[in-house]
Amino acid sequence: MASHKQIRVGDVLIGGGAPVAVQTMTKTETANVAATLEQIRRAAEVGADLVRVAVPRDEDAEALREIVAGSPVPIIADIHFNHTLALKAIRNGAACVRLNPGNIGGRDKVAEVVALAREAQTPLRIGVNSGSLPAHLRDLEYEDPIEALVQAAVGFVELMESLDFTDFKVSMKSTSVPNTIASNRLLSERIPYPLHLGVTEAGTKWTGSLKSAVGLGTLLADGIGDTIRISLSTFQAEEEVKVAWEILKALKLRERGPVLIACPTCGRLQFDMDSVVVEIERRLEAYPDPIEVSVLGCAVNGIGEARHADFGITGAKDAGMIFSRGEPLKKVPTGQLVDELFAEIDRWYAAGKTIVRDERAAAEAAQWLSENEDTSAMTPERLAALEEEAVRAQQAAEAELAERSPVAGRRFSRD
């Protein structure tokens, strides 16, 4: 269930229907202000709405003042064990403080942090991790780890409410993807507060991105989750942000920059599409609009399923074609496909986001396409389309049969 309550972290709204916010965490020593700010700026450039920094020592809490002043996005202070660091972080301007109420020294110390947070109007993030559950839940954790996580989170929520404090979001992280999904589904039914999602210690860029896409994507598709962080074993925080955005873009929850679509390739491929796709992806990073760019490995299908793309290329051994919204634009030598694609995109921008068509070049491209298209070839795309058609036909036949049934529309009841 989507969260009902909304909080504000700096100028970013979280929960209650606000767009899902993207977070990352710096990997630098926080007290190294120059390095930390540089990483924050890089993360913000690629779309981080919020950045969290670790505050394990006094010097890190001290550095917050300068970091907050120089950061383009709100800063969240990450505190463990030491409630005085949480107090300092609030005094030094952190937009939010992340803490685990179970490990900062008992109710009185939590109450002290809450009192200052209320006075400074600083929201908190209450974090529960599968690796650090309260002692009274250890047995339950063994029998039912999902319920144990949820009970720990609900217990901390009740602690906050007993202190008359509701300006917080909740995170409940596990290294297990199924447990992350199940526990957040359960928690979202039990509390109205915004949820921060993440799969903790997800792994390398490759495995971590996949685990996060499956775990967070499943929850986000259900409308659960208000802010996300992708935890990756990399020193480049911006890589986490890029993955987070791809997940949100794939689910059409938010738009940012171009969307690249590429065919999976098969035995019909006649040019080095691997490096072409990488090159296009890299160059598209410079463009702000959500334009859709499609790369097809051959022209056998015609423009096919890429018909809706704003721009696309389809290649062959010596020549290829650039198209837009299903219409051929020009035929070019394969080696110039990428440069010419970007020349067309730039021309589109220069003309106020309208296509500038050279009719002669377009006719030549259409001719090339008709020579290279093979409507009888059983390509992966056509097989998928045939399968889809067969499923639809079967569903229609079943629906018709059900309508013709002599008992159609009758209600059966044992009452």
Check: CB of residue 308 under 8 Å from CB of residue 326. yes
Q: Which stretch binds ligand SF4 (CB under 6 A): 199-207, 294-302, 322-330, 354-362?
A: 294-302
What are the CA-CA distances from residue 218 to residues 180, 191, 193, 212, 333 (Å)? Answer: 10, 19, 19, 9, 43
Taking the complex as a whole, the smallest distance from the CB of residue 380 to ligand SF4 amounts, in Å, to 5
Rounded distance, CA 250 to CA 271, Å? 27
Of positions 22, 95, 99, 298, contacts ligand SF4 by CB under 6 A: 298
**266 or 278: CB nearest ligand SF4:** 266
Q: Which stretch binds ligand SF4 (CB under 6 A): 160-168, 170-178, 258-266, 343-351?
A: 258-266
Taking the complex as a whole, the smallest distance from the CB of residue 264 to ligand SF4 amounts, in Å, to 5
| Token pair belonging to 87 | 């107090």
Check: CB of residue 219 under 8 Å from CB of residue 181. yes
Of positions 34, 266, 363, 401, contacts ligand SF4 by CB under 6 A: 266
Taking the complex as a whole, the smallest distance from the CB of residue 305 to ligand SF4 amounts, in Å, to 9
Taking the complex as a whole, the smallest distance from the CB of residue 314 to ligand SF4 amounts, in Å, to 7
Query: Kindly report the CA angle at 253 between 247 and 248, in degrees rounded to 5?
Result: 15
Check: CB of residue 356 under 8 Å from CB of residue 347. yes
Q: Which stretch binds ligand SF4 (CB under 6 A): 228-236, 243-251, 263-271, 388-396?
A: 263-271
Q: Which stretch binds ligand SF4 (CB under 6 A): 111-119, 223-231, 281-289, 298-306?
A: 298-306
Q: With H, G, I as helix, E, B as strand and everything else as coil, classify residue 304.
A: helix
Residue 221 binding ligand SF4, by CB under 6 A: no
**34 or 266: CB nearest ligand SF4:** 266
DSSP-derived secondary structure for 35-82: HHHHHHHHHHHTT-SEEEEE--SHHHHHHHHHHHHH-SS-EEEE--S-
Check: CB of residue 198 under 8 Å from CB of residue 173. yes
Residue 268 binding ligand SF4, by CB under 6 A: yes
Residue 296 binding ligand SF4, by CB under 6 A: yes
Of positions 184, 209, 301, 372, contacts ligand SF4 by CB under 6 A: 301
Of positions 10, 217, 257, 297, contacts ligand SF4 by CB under 6 A: 297
**141 or 373: CB nearest ligand SF4:** 373
Nearest to 314 by CA among 298, 330, 327: 298
Taking the complex as a whole, the smallest distance from the CB of residue 294 to ligand SF4 amounts, in Å, to 10
**141 or 374: CB nearest ligand SF4:** 374
**248 or 300: CB nearest ligand SF4:** 300
Rounded distance, CA 216 to CA 211, Å? 8
- Contact positions with ligand SF4 (CB under 6 A) in 371-390: 379-381
* DSSP state letter for 94: -
Taking the complex as a whole, the smallest distance from the CB of residue 280 to ligand SF4 amounts, in Å, to 15
* DSSP state letter for 20: P
Half-sphere exposure of 326 (CA within 13 A, CB side): 4
Rounded distance, CA 301 to CA 391, Å? 22
Of positions 176, 200, 265, 334, contacts ligand SF4 by CB under 6 A: 265
Give the H/E segment covering residue 262: strand 259-262
Taking the complex as a whole, the smallest distance from the CB of residue 269 to ligand SF4 amounts, in Å, to 4
| Token pair belonging to 410 | 């009758």
Of positions 252, 264, 411, 415, contacts ligand SF4 by CB under 6 A: 264
Of positions 140, 269, 343, 369, contacts ligand SF4 by CB under 6 A: 269
Rounded distance, CA 272 to CA 201, Å? 35
Taking the complex as a whole, the smallest distance from the CB of residue 94 to ligand SF4 amounts, in Å, to 50
Number of residues located near ligand SF4, criterion CB under 6 A: 14
Q: Which stretch binds ligand SF4 (CB under 6 A): 116-124, 162-170, 293-301, 387-395?
A: 293-301
Taking the complex as a whole, the smallest distance from the CB of residue 263 to ligand SF4 amounts, in Å, to 3
Of positions 170, 300, 319, 329, contacts ligand SF4 by CB under 6 A: 300
Q: In this structure, which amino acid lies at residue 151?
A: Q
DSSP-derived secondary structure for 318-374: SEEEEEETTEEEEEEEGGGHHHHHHHHHHHHHHTTS-----HHHHHHHHHHHHHH--
| Token pair belonging to 297 | 């490995």
Query: Which residues in this chain contact ligand SF4 in the complex, by CB under 6 A?
Result: 263-266, 268-269, 296-298, 300-301, 379-381
